[in-house]
Structure 1
């Protein structure tokens, strides 16, 4: 796995860890050699005399940096946004996909003030609504905001950052206009040739109405919601239309957040053999306060539900990277960027909650110990306090 000569030097060697990269088929005790911000070698043992610096990962798990497919990081200009870098340093998330915080009018600010200064990797899905998520919801209530032509121009000017289109479709975001904004979002995604992510929650509209607009490669986020747009029928079975779409390439994404993850739905789905394709946080001003907290906590919930560690890690690395058409990320293959996370897998008796505060107990918890981007350690930084409006629902205040 090296690709290097025996005497070549490394800027950094991470030694002695259990390397886990399910997407690349790498699992075992290996040393990683890093040079010029990229993975240069993966070997059972690297001579430490060849290293400028050494990180001892003995007893820890070493994975690719996590790729979070559903985040909100437009701090200061939107209702939901947090700052990515401080959370990245403590959570192992090196690639952040902001989904719909910015619309056409606010995307230039997102690029200049969020993406460009960030130490971690930042990409976006553009909201069809030209105002984005400046407020908690209602972004599609006014049809004047559904400006497909303007959105397409913004995509064309920012294809390095914009990797898809986002539409939140529920009773609050649409406010009586039905699926018309989804029709326009579909038009926009098809015009620019990018995937469409659709958020579901409480209707109207119905999940069947939404499903009619989904295509292979699109992303249905909040797929384990307990709302009445959930993908389980009244009989508790996965809706045939959703099962068929997933088999044809629809991506089922978790997007935990503050209102979108139900243990009961998750258990029913897993019992029927329907696993999420990607596990994301939907981290934002409220969710970071709990019960979601961060992506490692969300991954730990799926360990508690019976998924294996390789299954969970793959759904937060290689699979979301493939969903955004960036297979160069979320991997430790030789030659890839050295975005890396180190972990302790703690054993104990842990209590986890879904958004309704239903609890499940687990015996394992992932705890991030170090995060690197381009082979450089991200410093632990203080996180800003929540905005004055970021108050958890009463039932989640513990």
Structure 2
């Protein structure tokens, strides 16, 4: 895998080793897509983990932790995304409940799969229970890689808005660390990033989550810490991400949309739950769970004691979760951003400038909001 000019990882064939067997094309989820179910035939559920501390530590309603616990209790293995030592994101596995914290929570950049598919295959062949959690395209890739069904695999895709550039992500937080040190009092050592959390609910709740970054340094033998908590509406990396300014090109034509990842379960935030099921909304996180196979339905049923759930028509959940059915469009300034990105010394300023709405966009947004309030659009 090698990064392109925008920082996205792509497979590169070593011509000296290639025997032209065509296997890489046979397992490609873009060339060979899974069929999508009819939305009317799908059952969906609003869910909250009854364990309050676990739910608060989760991005959404805490369903991942319960699914993981079931698999680990059977001696199984859980695969998911964690931060590496440099805060890049890599897929890894855990075999103990104590390790789940590293996989819990959203990480808004492309994760490196590395050897996870091969390790999962080896465990499945050995008869171990495996829970593999990833974005829709990652699950589609896993299923194509495996080539056959495994009764001991539970494949769960997490609804994905799109994948931001790892290069932009790394440069953004490197610049933020430099700004922290530039504004701090001189010390024997500079601050370094020690903790990053994209979906903190402790500060302002689930609906207005904060991005929390923590920095540490040593000054004259004394350990010092600095904590920043910024609402996502004011955090520039999140603004660029949510405005589709630097997403991977394939995300704008995602082959795994419309529940077509080949997964057993799809999980997401249930944005809009307050409109349809206000009793499920306490601003601490509510998940949308969509079982898509018999395996997924059995796994979901096993959580009934630990979950507060209510069945919900999928159509009710779509307005708040449009990415279930369609890909996002690239921002009109995407090409301009990458043209300026390499030499940008102030990425927050660049993102702010390029995502500023035009008068026409502001008027359209205001009109749509008014129509939504009086019930003419959803």
Same fold (TM over 0.5): no
Larger RCO (alpha carbons 8 Å, 6+ apart): 2
TM-score by length of structure 2 reads 0.27
